[in-house]
A and B are shown apart, each in its own frame.
Chain A
Amino acid sequence: MGDGVKKLTLRGREAVNGYLFILPWVIGLLLFFIAPMIESIRFSFAEVSISDSGFSVSINGIDNARNFWENYRYFLLADASFLEKLRTTALDTAAAVIVITVFSLFVAALLHGKFKGRNVYRAVFFLPVIMTTGVMYLLIQQGMSGGELYTSTSIVDSGNAFTFKVTSLRDIMLQGGLNADFVEAVTKLVNQIFNYVSKAGVQILLFLSGLAKIPASHYEAAKIEGANGWESFWKITFPIISPVIFLNTIYTMLDSFITYGMENSGNVTMYAIQQMGFGKVMRFDYAAAMSWIYTLMIIVFVLLAYLAVGLPSSKVTEGR
């Protein structure tokens, strides 16, 4: 018997130890992720009716006469409003990823290095992480936007929330003969500036951490070789921090996809799913189908980001 234990190879012992370390997670995964996920997928292919005594689930095409894909068909083909919401969320997220990634790299570059007041600025720029999550932020936004505070639900739509209105900028651009769609897009972007700035805290942190890793000697060598600031950014900084760019792309993307929104602002898809499942209607089956369509879209986005940013960045890093 004791022999069996002794015979466990080094490799085998390593595997056992590895499994022991991840064991808590495996249990948690099965109980609180896989099981609920299977349940939710089952709901999405069923008709769920809720009564006082609980709810009953009848699987489409087996327990009832509906098409197996009925819930999915409804949101993909019959009801255009959900697709419209998906489109809005996808476009908002794409814009957020681009703007926040560029912006946070820019700010990190400003904050990097030694200068007076650096610590104060750093403390300020990370502050949004504390300020701008959850209910508190919604309440601050609502307060600042004034009027539309009170509707029937407790967390309410704050419309455009806190925005710097830039109507004069829009007028100038329109008079300048610029394309109206373009002007609209730019105006929207500027109006959103606070939202972007306030969501960049973690990203700035990650970029700063990446920049701190670059040895000063690299830049000195480049200077001796006669490279200017622009060249050393693209030849030194960019390749080294490109994994962080990928990390930030993914982080921003998920942050945007997973935060709760309101009816007309923020993440409208999450709001619609939440309302369908836990609002007045309580359609678990529809909510489940909506959420799995949405999840698929998120996965496609993450894969695209991997192909567009992740793969090239890993090649750049290897090529160094």
Chain B
Amino acid sequence: MIKIKKRLWSAVIAVFRHSLLVGLSFVILYPMLFMLSNAFKPYAQARDPGVIWIPKSFTLYNISEVIGFMDYAGSLLNTLTYTVLPTLVQLGSCLLVGYGFARFRFPLKKPLFALVLLTVVVPPVSISTGLFQAFYHFNPFGVLGLLNRVTGGGVPNSVNLIGSHWVTFIPAAFAASLRSGIYILIFRQFFASMPRELEEAARIDGCGAFRTFRSVMLPNAQNIAITALMLAIVWNWNDYYTAASFIRAKYTIATSLSELQDFLRQVIGAGADDMTIATTRIQAGVLLGIAPLLAMYLAFQNRLAESIETAGLTGI
């Protein structure tokens, strides 16, 4: 009797669990389905009330047209060189800094760490005007200005970094680009939760602090680093703000997508009523923009699941 009751109970729980999860999954997948349905729909069917999800026929026309409109290859290349590569550099420096805060005692550590928190809390818009100045007249600590005076004008007073690759690589190298504070916090938590014995063994073997970090701590941080890297790539990939403010003329996926609908309106030359026609092409653009991220996600999905289970993602 008890056994049957128990079985029944677990079956009820399973049904409950799955129906909830399926329902919520639908809510999450809805925009994805919308995007896919439209991207491959001939645009004559966009306003056809008889077509809701599955188009009557499929077409690659939207995709191929938008590839041209967006200069997809160029935008993709810019996105890779302006945002993805700097992300790798950014995470490298954040790993160093996170380890520094986790494992060493030094004067002023607490106020410095409070400053890390401050960088997380202050919205980027608060410093954007000043940041633009810093890039436009880049003169770190007055060094260029000094060199200018010493060499009698042989070196420019300041350089303009706006639109160049430096504008994303330099802040990345100094752990100061988009959401760096969050990665520093994550890595600090992770390293702080690691047992100290590992490092002590390395130290006894005569490893210096940096060697210890590189050969003992980094290999252990693989999963957490990949998880953070995935988040960072996604956030940087979609970051309209940096691209629009500092990269400017070089279009990334985020900025070219944001201009796609204006462009389409001009091409079609239509009023607001007719613009549903553009939906299929806009969704094709979104699909193109998101496809590399989806591929990355599917490729690293297992790593992600592993890091959930094993790494001290939360530091508890």
Whether B176 pairs with A133 at a CB distance below 8 angstroms is no
Report if B125 contacts A (CB, 8 A).
yes
Whether A197 pairs with B106 at a CB distance below 8 angstroms is no
Whether B126 pairs with A37 at a CB distance below 8 angstroms is yes
Residue in A140, A243, A277 whose CB lies within 8 Å of B286: A140
Whether B121 pairs with A288 at a CB distance below 8 angstroms is no
Residue in A125, A260, A270 whose CB lies within 8 Å of B24: A125
Instruction: Give bound CA distance, A311 to B35, whole Å.
Output: 44
Residue in B123, B128, B175, B260 whose CB lies within 8 Å of A294: B123
Whether B115 pairs with A29 at a CB distance below 8 angstroms is yes
Report if A176 contacts B (CB, 8 A).
no
Whether A21 pairs with B100 at a CB distance below 8 angstroms is yes
Residue in B24, B122, B234, B275 whose CB lies within 8 Å of A150: B275
Number of A-B contacts (CB under 8 A): 281
Residue in A17, A134, A142, A212 whose CB lies within 8 Å of B254: A134
CB distance from A122 to the nearest CB of B (A): 6
Q: Could you tell me how many residues of chain B have their Cβ less than 8 Å away from some Cβ of chain A?
A: 103
For A117, list chain B residues within 8 Å (CB): 18, 21
CB distance from B198 to the nearest CB of A (A): 16
Whether A115 pairs with B14 at a CB distance below 8 angstroms is yes
Question: CB-nearest residue of chain A relative to B129?
Answer: A284
Report if B112 contacts A (CB, 8 A).
yes
Report if B62 contacts A (CB, 8 A).
no
Q: Please encode chain A, from 253 to 269, with 1 for each CB lying within 8 Å of some chain B CB and 0 for all others.
A: 01001101000000000
Please provide the chain B residues from 259 to 294 with a CB less than 8 Å away from any CB of chain A in the complex.
Answer: 259-262, 265, 272, 275-276, 278-279, 282-283, 285-286, 289-290, 293-294
Whether A154 pairs with B258 at a CB distance below 8 angstroms is yes
Instruction: Give bound CA distance, A247 to B173, whole Å.
Output: 27
Whether A131 pairs with B314 at a CB distance below 8 angstroms is no
Count chain A CB atoms within 10 A of each CB in B125, B254, B278 and give the residue with the most: B125
Whether A150 pairs with B265 at a CB distance below 8 angstroms is yes
Question: CB-nearest residue of chain B relative to A302?
Answer: B121
Instruction: Give bound CA distance, A124 to B282, whole Å.
Output: 24
Report if B31 contacts A (CB, 8 A).
yes
Whether A40 pairs with B127 at a CB distance below 8 angstroms is yes
Instruction: Give bound CA distance, A193 to B258, whole Å.
Output: 25
Report if A129 contacts B (CB, 8 A).
yes
Whether A130 pairs with B105 at a CB distance below 8 angstroms is no
Q: A130-B293, A288-B129 are in contact. Are A194 and B27 (CB under 8 A)?
A: yes
Instruction: Give bound CA distance, A241 to B109, whole Å.
Output: 27
CB distance from A97 to the nearest CB of B (A): 15
Instruction: Give bound CA distance, A105 to B141, whole Å.
Output: 47
Extra contacts, 7 of them, besides A35-B130, A36-B128 (Cβ < 8 A), are A18-B100, A36-B130, A36-B134, A125-B24, A132-B31, A134-B237, A143-B34
The 3 residue pairs across chains A and B that have the minimum distance between CB atoms? A28-B174, A21-B100, A36-B130
Can you offer 21 A-B residue contacts whose CB atoms are under 8 A?
A15-B104, A20-B209, A22-B112, A29-B119, A29-B174, A124-B29, A127-B32, A131-B32, A133-B234, A135-B255, A136-B238, A136-B286, A139-B285, A141-B31, A144-B31, A154-B258, A154-B259, A205-B304, A208-B308, A273-B125, A278-B245
Chain B residues within CB distance 8 Å of chain A: 14, 17-18, 20-21, 24-25, 27-32, 34-35, 38, 93, 96-97, 99-101, 103-107, 109, 112, 115-116, 119-131, 133-134, 140-141, 171, 173-177, 180, 184, 209-210, 213, 231, 234-235, 237-241, 245, 254-255, 257-262, 265, 272, 275-276, 278-279, 282-283, 285-286, 289-290, 293-294, 297, 301, 304-305, 307-311, 313-316
